[in-house]
Amino acid sequence: MRRHFIHTILMAFAVATAANAQPTYSREVSRIIQQKCQMCHRPNDIAPFALMSYEDAQAQGRAIRAALQLGIMPPWKPVPGHGDFQNNLSLSDDQRQTILDWLDAGMPQGDPGDLPAPVVYASEWRLGQPDQIVSMPVAYLPVAREDRPDRYRCFVLPNAVDQERWVRAVDIVPGIRSVVHHVILYLTDDPAQIKRALALDEQDADPGYDCWGGPLITPGAGPGLLKAAGGMLGAWVPGMNPAELPKDIGVLVPKGVYVIMQVHYNLAAGDPPGPDQTRVGLYFHDKKPENRLFSLPILNDKFVLPPGSMGQQVDASLNLNLDDYGFPIPDALVPQFSAIGIAPHMHQLGRQIRADLVQPDGAEAPLIKIDDWDFHWQGFYTYQKPVPLPYRSKIKASCVFDNTTDRTIRWGESTEDEMCLVYVSFIAQGGIAVLLGNPL
């Protein structure tokens, strides 16, 4: 009798332990989905379905399994070990296995009392009310072309600020989240480039102008030898949270500058329900920061991809040495550079892209690597900590293309052309950094 009693207790303990080990939606899966999926998989956002409840997840079980097995969701492209970035959307091996185990177990709901508190945004502006809001002047109704479902449109936003401002954060609220795929904000205070942007806008009957691949102007703003490096204000892609710069770093927005806002509309599911009027929220530093944020491209615009060429590598580099650009600097005055973020860019034939730092002694360190490039999932990646870029080092980029067309492909603004391009955002300190455009 005693032996039977002990056996019964052990069996009950084993069953309870197994049940507790089995993942449930309420206890484990909901937290993973909340952290990694709901920023896109929510009502009226860009994802094709919401994942806000157990019923939502249960209904999409097959789609969730396929996405995990194919590795296509969440859309996080950087390869681990090649840069340590904020807001990493990728699933760990344990998180992926937890969801697969839950699916294999029949998607048990578990105790609703175990659910986490829902994520609730206080307002549409995730950092609170902006100091200033700038917007497309007129709402625009994007319509797909017969030859492609994507539309790239640039909108000219004149005189974005009435006085010099230092921006600590940028948030972007798409007018129609279901079709706005990404937004990039360029700056220019060059009269010739402003004139060109206005002419492109005036020549088009609809608001803005088509701008496949880039803004069709040369961005650049602010003082100093690195004026061209002041041409980026910010960007947004689905799932991206606004990154707030520390108190000692800011983006300079000069008085009277023009913002060129490029919006990528993905219309594969059909035309939108109405016009879009995307808005930009600017958050300012209370006082001038010590460091100005710059962005420079590493690019190769001279390559040729013959028809049918597969696995062709294109290389580009940028020397962090002003001597090479006609501005020799004594060793005692050299600036110290640090990378804050990085943004790789190719078009539809790109397969792989990476950037590496080559230090003066020849040692190499990875900055980013993407080995399964997808034109529709481009990102702007902010490092967890600034990455030192020693003076007289070099940043090199490598792009790999498969030209599956019967055409010769070269660098160009159209999506049917190609690009090999990596933007690096950085700060310059010490030495003669003030001559480069840093605050006095």
pTM of the prediction?
Answer: 0.82
Q: For residue 375, what pLDDT is reported?
A: 82
The answer to whether the peptide bond before residue 142 is cis (omega within 30 degrees of 0) is: no
pLDDT at 16: 45
Joined together, the tokens standing for residue 67 give: 């996405």
Task: Read off the tokens for 23.
Answer: 């993942």
Quote the pLDDT of residue 3: 55
Total residue length of the chain: 440
Nearest to 423 by CA among 295, 268, 292: 295
CB 345, CB 419: distance < 8 Å: yes
The stretches in the chain having pLDDT less than 50 are: 10, 12-18
Q: Which residue has the tokens 């039977």?
A: 4
State the pLDDT at residue 239.
67
Q: Are 213 and 154 in contact (CB under 8 A)?
A: no
pLDDT at 340: 95
Question: Cis bond leading into 74, ω under 30°?
Answer: yes
Residue type, 7: H
CA R_g for the chain: 25
Going by the DSSP 8-state scheme, the letter that residue 116 receives in this structure is: P
221, with CB counted inside 10 A (0-12, 13-18, 19+), is buried
Distance of alpha carbon 131 from alpha carbon 128, whole angstroms: 9
Alpha carbon distance 222, 430 (integer Å): 19
What 3-state DSSP class applies to 333?
A: helix
Chain position carrying tokens 């449109």: 153
> Could you tell me the strand order of the sheet in which 364-370 lies?
312-319, 394-401, 350-358, 364-370
Q: Which of 185, 261, 195, 269 shows the shortest CA–CA distance to 230?
A: 185
Question: What pLDDT, on the 0 to 100 scale, is given for residue 14?
Answer: 43
DSSP letter, residue 440: -
Residues 6+ apart with CB under 8 A from 191: none
